[in-house]
């Protein structure tokens, strides 16, 4: 039974704003081109299992054509263009995306399963902001502390995941173009559609042919991009497992590499924290985007004295979470992106049960079709449990306790990852004390999951190499750049 005092009338966003073609081709050399193999794969709406479109399945020959187009655009046009002209294209792309923002949001929600409230208010505005921000850098690189006369690598191969498809495209394409590289991008298999709409934006912006190329496909398509000898730099966002395999494949070559990988973020709540705010931050930290967030606050570390009260408040708040049709403007939690991801979440939550942790879920009902998982919290979790160690990448929170600040730090850092962390306390000095000791690339204080194009994002340890966003995010796209900040942590933007 729902404890909600409010019942909402349906508020569906219209899908009329998008027109989805029955088939899509690769975007190579400024044109849409069929796959050399003639093969296609289906992309579905994970909330309904409806097939949205059949998309070209890229192979090594398609990658080769795209790399050649990118090389030709680099040598003949892009590397010769004055930087301020390059910047104008980025501004133009940003403005065209703004004009089509609603279309991008609806298409992303249909293809990915995430709520329209999030695509409309987070994914799409942040993607646009990324292009505006980097448009400003294009003609100011020599003032960015990257050394004199910073030079691009040339052709960048970029591989992105399905959790923030358009936003990850923006994080990759905007800095690459601003620094003077051309790109070949491989979107994730389950979410290629907004990248293909972005291809149309590139055409409409008059971007010279071959500066941006998009080859759709699966993991093998990504692997073909990594191993292509004509690529100067690889930028990858995805799982740590695939990231490691890419690092192995590139060792011994002169290709540059940046990696944005997984995480198991600790969200630390001290006993003096404003608890109601913390509860909202915990919900945002783990249930935003169905928990398909690399920097999710997936481990809640609560000071023992407030554990029971906090869990009671959290459960009451979770009863208010609205799960269902992602196109409804009142939906908080949408569909799990794929059957495979749902199975991974189910496997890990079963492991949580088997190892003795105590699960709790709100009493919401789930739609019949599509891939769904109830928001879940586990208490009685020990640091040895799989749910405390492995990235679940779903709406599942592992709750652990601590008694002293030192214990909180030890537990928070007890992970091979180091992407994000959160601290909740009313004392500024405790925030600083804690943040100084946490091994995480991004640390939020009394908030969570806040992003800005001007703020660098990236991880320690197995969470990745290099940064995206801000001045630091330009480094991985510059040849021979050295930064004190990044070399200090041992992981430069360039290997
Ligand atoms: P994934 O399996 O590693 O896939 C990421 C991308 O790599 C997809 O485009 C995938 O294609 C492609 N790929 C798969 N195998 C490949 C190979 N052998 N060589 C080259 N490319 C290959 O990861 P995912 O499950 O889609 O994404 C979730 C992971 O991404 C999580 O671990 C999450 O933490 C991480 N992530 C990190 C960040 C960050 O900024 N640090 C941001 C978002 C996500 P297919 O889709 O066709 O398999
Ligand atoms: Mg899809």
- What is the predicted pLDDT for the residue at 481? 57
| pLDDT tens digit sequence for 463-485 | 999 999 999 999 999 997 544 44
| pLDDT tens digit sequence for 60-106 | 999 999 999 999 999 999 999 999 999 999 999 999 999 999 999 99
Which class is 23-260+457-489 in CATH?
Answer: alpha beta
Residue with the smallest CA separation from ligand 1 atom 12 is 219
Q: What's the pTM value of the predicted model, to 2 decimals?
A: 0.95
Residue with the smallest CA separation from ligand 1 atom 15 is 219
Q: How far apart are CA 178 and CA 138, in angstroms?
A: 4
| H or E element in which residue 390 lies | none
Which class is 266-445 in CATH?
Answer: alpha beta
- What is the predicted pLDDT for the residue at 261? 96
Q: Is the CB of 163 under 6 A from ligand 1?
A: yes
Instruction: Over range 162-185, report the average pLDDT.
Output: 98
Pairing of strands 26-28, 31-33: antiparallel
Ligand 1 center to 160 CA (angstroms):
6
Q: How far apart are CA 289 and CA 469, in angstroms?
A: 20
Instruction: Over range 305-324, report the average pLDDT.
Output: 98
Q: How far apart are CA 182 and CA 460, in angstroms?
A: 28
Q: How far apart are CA 22 and CA 25, in angstroms?
A: 11
Ligand 2 center to 436 CA (angstroms):
40
What value, to the nearest 5°, has the Cα angle with vertex 494 and ends 445 and 130?
Answer: 50
Residue ranges of the chain assigned to CATH 3.40.605.10: 23-260+457-489
Q: What are phi and psi of 185, to 5 degrees?
A: -110, 135
Sign of CA dihedral 74, 76, 78, 83: positive
- Please name the residues in contact with 219: beta carbons below 8 A apart, sequence gap of 6 or more: 189, 242
Cα 200 to chain centroid, rounded: 22
Q: How far apart are CA 160 and CA 124, in angstroms?
A: 16
Residue with the smallest CA separation from ligand 1 atom 19 is 223
| pLDDT tens digit sequence for 257-271 | 999 999 999 999 999
| pLDDT tens digit sequence for 201-235 | 999 999 999 999 999 999 999 999 999 999 999 99
| pLDDT tens digit sequence for 275-291 | 999 999 999 999 999 99
Ligand 1 center to 88 CA (angstroms):
31
Query: Using an 8 Å Cβ cutoff, are 232 and 255 in contact?
Result: yes
Residue 260 appears among annotated catalytic residues: yes
What's the mean pLDDT when you consider all of the chain? Answer: 95
Residue 426 appears among annotated catalytic residues: no
* Ligand index nearest the alpha carbon of residue 214: 1
Closest ligand 1 atom number to CA of residue 217: 47
Residue with the smallest CA separation from ligand 1 atom 11 is 219
Percent of the chain having pLDDT more than 70?
96
Q: How far apart are CA 112 and CA 105, in angstroms?
A: 10
What are the start-end ranges of the H helices in 355-495?
386-389, 405-412, 428-437, 484-488
Q: What are phi and psi of 464, to 5 degrees?
A: 140, 180
Q: How many residues does the chain have?
A: 495
* Residue 148 pLDDT level (bands cut at 50, 70, 90): confident
Q: Is the CB of 235 under 6 A from ligand 1?
A: no
Strand partners, 27: 32, 214
Closest ligand 1 atom number to CA of residue 464: 41
What are the start-end ranges of the H helices in 251-338?
275-287, 307-318
Q: How far apart are CA 358 and CA 401, in angstroms?
A: 14
Q: Is the CB of 161 under 6 A from ligand 1?
A: yes
Residue ranges of the chain assigned to CATH 3.40.309.10: 266-445
């Amino acid at each position: 039974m729902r404890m909600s005092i409010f019942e909402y009338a349906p508020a569906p966003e219209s899908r009329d704003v998008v027109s989805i073609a029955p088939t899509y081709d690769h975007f190579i050399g400024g044109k849409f081109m069929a796959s050399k193999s003639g093969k296609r794969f289906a992309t579905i709406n994970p909330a309904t299992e409806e097939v949205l479109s059949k998309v070209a399945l890229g192979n090594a020959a398609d990658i080769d054509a795209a790399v050649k187009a990118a090389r030709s655009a680099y040598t003949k046009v892009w590397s010769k263009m004055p930087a301020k002209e390059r910047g104008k294209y980025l501004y133009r792309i940003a403005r065209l995306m703004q004009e089509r923002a609603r279309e991008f949001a609806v298409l992303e929600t249909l293809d990915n399963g995430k709520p329209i409230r999030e695509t409309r208010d987070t994914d799409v505005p942040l993607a646009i902001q990324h292009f505006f921000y980097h448009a400003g850098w294009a003609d100011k690189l020599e003032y960015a502390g990257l050394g004199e006369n910073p030079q691009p690598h040339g052709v960048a191969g970029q591989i992105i995941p399905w959790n923030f498809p358009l936003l990850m495209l923006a994080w990759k394409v905007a800095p690459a173009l601003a620094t003077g590289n051309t790109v070949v991008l491989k979107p994730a298999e389950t979410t290629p559609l907004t990248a293909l709409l972005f291809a149309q934006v590139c055409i409409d912006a008059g971007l010279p042919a071959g500066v941006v190329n998009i080859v759709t496909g699966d993991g093998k398509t990504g692997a073909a991009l990594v191993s292509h000898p004509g690529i100067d730099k690889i930028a990858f966002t995805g799982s740590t497992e695939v990231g490691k395999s890419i690092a192995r494949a590139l060792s011994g070559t002169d290709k540059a590499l940046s990696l944005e990988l997984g995480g198991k973020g600790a969200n630390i709540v001290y006993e003096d924290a404003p608890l109601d705010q913390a509860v909202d931050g915990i919900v945002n930290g783990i249930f935003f985007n169905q928990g398909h967030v690399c920097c999710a606050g997936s481990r809640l570390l609560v000071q023992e004295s407030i554990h029971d009260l906090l869990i009671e408040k959290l459960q009451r708040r979770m009863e208010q979470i609205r799960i269902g049709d992602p196109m409804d403007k009142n939906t908080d939690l949408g569909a799990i992106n794929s059957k495979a991801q749902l199975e991974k979440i189910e496997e890990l939550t079963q492991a949580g049960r088997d190892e003795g942790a105590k699960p709790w879920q709100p009493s919401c009902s789930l739609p019949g079709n599509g891939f769904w998982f109830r928001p879940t919290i586990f208490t009685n979790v020990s640091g040895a449990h799989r749910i405390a160690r492995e990235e679940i990448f779903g709406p599942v929170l592992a709750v652990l306790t601590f008694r002293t600040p030192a214990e909180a730090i030890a537990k928070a850092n007890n992970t091979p990852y180091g992407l994000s962390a959160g601290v909740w306390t009313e004392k500024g000095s405790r925030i600083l004390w804690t943040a100084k000791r946490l091994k995480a690339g991004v640390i939020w204080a009394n908030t969570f999951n806040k992003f800005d194009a001007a703020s660098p994002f990236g991880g320690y340890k197995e969470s990745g190499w290099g940064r995206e966003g801000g001045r630091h995010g330009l480094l991985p796209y510059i040849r021979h750049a050295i930064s004190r900040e990044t070399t200090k942590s041992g992981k430069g933007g360039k290997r």
